[in-house]
Structure 1
Amino acid sequence: MKTQIKLLALLLICFSYSCSKDDDASDKEESVTDVYAVGYESDGTKNIAKTWKNGVATSLTNGANDANAASVHVVGEDVYVAGNENNVAVIWKNGIKTPLTDGSRPVFVFSVFVSGSDVYAAGMEVFPLSNGERYTARLWKNGVGITLNENKEHAWATSVYVHGNDVYVAGYEADPTTKKFVAKIWKNGMATALTNNLSGSTASAVFVSGTDVYVAGSDFIKGKSVAFIWKNGVATQLSNGTTDATATSVFVSNNNVYVAGSVNDPNQNRIPTLWKNNFPTKSFTKGIDPNANSVFVMDNDVYIGGSETKVATIWKNEQAIKLTDGTYKAQVNSVFVTKK
């Protein structure tokens, strides 16, 4: 009898262990990674704003007007895309368009970020003047826009990131005296210059990790555009300055800092570049006129969005995933990855 009880207990343990393994396997099988990208594809006449989910394209516009999808942010099942159509700033939520402006003047949105129920967008709006026009850095929260720059010089807002209750916007503004662009970060509307007003600098992207604020951009040194990363206002030069270069996107994961951008070769051909912790990795494309516009990291997989040889492309760990066939020019402006 004792032997039978022991045997029964052993069988129950084995069965329980087997079920546990099956459950673990089931959990792993149920984990799904979705890769979103946004940008545009020409139809030969107009640029059509598009999204791609796992390589499957959806048109956001019908081709009646030029349009562009500049940035994507995914929260749960909701996909937010910022861009513009026929000079109107637009937010698409799950494909449904909400204009931010009325079309009376040109407006461009470059970045979108969603925090809770609030939708933020950053961009540039053109205001007419009696003797020309003025570009202004703009931030929209739930469709209500404010101007960030204080002076009457040109300014751009290129990227927005929300961390807790703080809203960070990267961009650049012309100095009233030198007329040179100065890379800036606005925190809750208060501007901080990242460089002096003598050289000419731009800030393209902002990312916040913990208490650290990272900004990617460029500064002109001895007549060359040099790629830079700023961490809490402290600059680190990424390119060597012998040819033009720029940093366009930044992402931080597991204390590693990834920056996407480009460096020109001696013949002035643009070479898309990924820097990891301030050091360039090996080249991941040999296409014609390529670019790297966006970087996103998920589970140590590095995704870069851009284009090569007119083809909208995502590189996953340096392997190209082509989203278009190259018939017409197309590119990815922003990439976002979710796992559930």
Structure 2
Amino acid sequence: MKKRLLFRSILFVLLTVSLFSCEKDSTTDSNTKPSASVYVAGYELNGPGYVAKIWKNGVSTNLTDGTKNAAASSVFVSGSDVYVAGYESNGTKDVAKVWKNGVSTIILSDGAENTYASSVFVSGSDVYAAGIEITGTSGTGYTAIVKVWKNGVSANLTDGTLPADAFSVFVSGTDVYAAGYEFNGTKNVAKVWKNGVATNLTDGTKNAAAFSVFVSGSDVYVAGSESNGTENIAKIWKNGASTNLTDGANTASARSVFVSGSDVYVAGFAFNGNRYVAKIWKNGVSTNLTDGTKNAYAFSVFVSGSDVHVAGIERSGIDYAAKIWKNGVATNLTDGTNEAAAVSVFVK
């Protein structure tokens, strides 16, 4: 479903996938560390349909065969196992699922309604995913229920009375957090759910959304955006208290947050008056990843040691190419011949 893909990857930002905890690298001896591998989840148009993909160190593997639309939205590595969340069409409906080591392992819905998994997180032997189930279509009784699945069993975070969405899940100890938004009848309210209980991050007077949640110790960080009435402001919340990353002169959005030690990294993008620029903020100070001559968006950040990895897209000709930046240096994952996106990065 092309419109759905574009909605989640690009167009939804004008309204206003997950990052995860880092495991320490094992060592082969006291002096030698194995090289970290970089995993990226996303999708690419291939003929008639979108293909869900994962890249490991720049080498791509298709998770689907391209005969039906699909997309990968989130990647998490636990031990030697690689988990990817996303969806694949069954020909009639889009079905949320989790792939483990390239195999469609956990089917999150029965295919009766459209469902989408936006984020995956593994804690011990438990696999969590967050996303939505959609019933109907807009204008004809459309509803969207926010869900968190644990090992394939779903729990509803909203009742479907009003549209809502979840874009990120994070597990800390026995606590399960999700970030997203819910419509209040007039505006979208940025929310974080902890163990199913919602906390509003915004007051509902202006449109807002939360795209990423990260827990460090007792602190809960959320990245997202809120409208100032005319433009969207990139924001981060720490324990519910917000900080603006942009001044609201031009629209912007914070899409991913990662905490490493005392440093807080946020990936996102901002309009420069002519084009969207992919950006990263470290402790509130921004750095441009692109020069602003072509539209570009950063969707995901992961910090490993001293290396900062960012996944996103940049316009290449008439389509978008999937890209990854390491310490600000870009590598193309696709050549721009077909529309593609890199939406989640994990390093292990």
Under TM normalisation by the shorter chain, which class is it?
Answer: 0.7 to 0.9
- Contact 1:113–1:160, Cα closer than 8 Å, also in 2: yes
Q: How does 1:291-306 map to 2 (within 5 A)?
A: 291-306=297-312
Q: Does the aligned pair in 2 maintain the 1:284–1:319 contact within 8 Å?
A: no
Write out aligned runs for 1:325-340 (5 A). Answer: 325-338=335-348
User: Which residue of structure 2 lines up, in the alignment, with residue 316 of structure 1?
Assistant: 326
SS of the residue aligned with 1:198? coil
Q: Which of 214, 226, 233 is matched with 1:226 structurally?
A: 233
2:162 to 153, 166, 175: 153
For 1:287 and 1:293, locate their aligned partners in 2 and report how far apart those are by CA, in whole Å: 19
Picking from 238, 256, 275, the partner of 2:281 is 275
When residues 28 and 324 of structure 1 are mapped into structure 2, their CA distance, relative to the original with a 3 A threshold, is: farther
Counterpart-to-counterpart distance in 2, 1:152 and 1:112: 25
- Contact 2:134–2:143 at 8 Å: present in 1 too? yes
The number of residue pairs the alignment matches comes to: 312
SS at match of 2:37: strand
Q: What SS does the corresponding residue of 2:249 show, helix, strand or coil?
A: coil
Give, as a single letter, the amino acid of the residue that structure 2 aligns with 1:277: N
Query: What residue in structure 2 maps to residue 107 of structure 1?
Result: 115
Q: CA offsets, 1:139-166, max 9 Å, x none? A: 1111011210246111111100000010
Q: Do structure 1's residue 120 and structure 2's residue 89 form an aligned pair?
A: no
Aligned residue identity for 2:95? V
Residues 229 and 79 of structure 1: CA distance in aligned 2, closer, same or farther (over 3 Å): same
Look up the match of 1:263: 270
1:325, distance to aligned residue in structure 2 (A) = 2.1
Equivalent of 1:78 in 77, 81, 85: 81
Alignment check: 8 A CA contact 1:48 1:63 kept: yes
DSSP 3-state at the match of 2:345:
strand
Larger helix share, 1 or 2: 1
* Matches for 1:14-93 after TM superposition, within 5 Å: 28-86=31-89, 87-93=94-100
Aligned-pair Cα RMSD in Å: 1.8
Q: Show the 5 A alignment for 1:178-193.
A: 179-193=186-200
Structure 1 stretches of 4+ with a deviation exceeding 6 A read none
Counterpart position of 2:253: 246
By how many angstroms is 1:99 displaced? 1.6
Tell me if 1:163 matches 2:202. no
- 1:225-277 deviations in Å (ceiling 9; x for gaps): 1110000000000011011100100000021000000100112x111110110
Aligned equivalents of 2:28, 2:49: Cα separation in 1: 48
CA distance in 1, matches of 2:273, 2:330: 25
* Aligned-partner residue type, residue 164 of structure 1: G
In structure 2, the residue matched to 1:96 is 103
Paired amino acid for 2:283: N
Give TM-score scaled by structure 1 length: 0.88
Counterpart of 2:19 in structure 1 is none
Contact 2:278 2:288 (8 Å CA) reproduced? no
| SS of residue in 1 equivalent to 2:179 | strand
Work out whether residues 290 and 296 of structure 2, in 8 Å CA contact, stay in contact via their aligned partners in 1: no
Bigger relative contact order (CA 8 A; separation at least 6): 2
Are 2:150 and 1:144 aligned?
A: no
Seq. identity, %: 48
* Preserved contact between residue 174 and residue 181 of structure 1 (Cα < 8 Å): yes
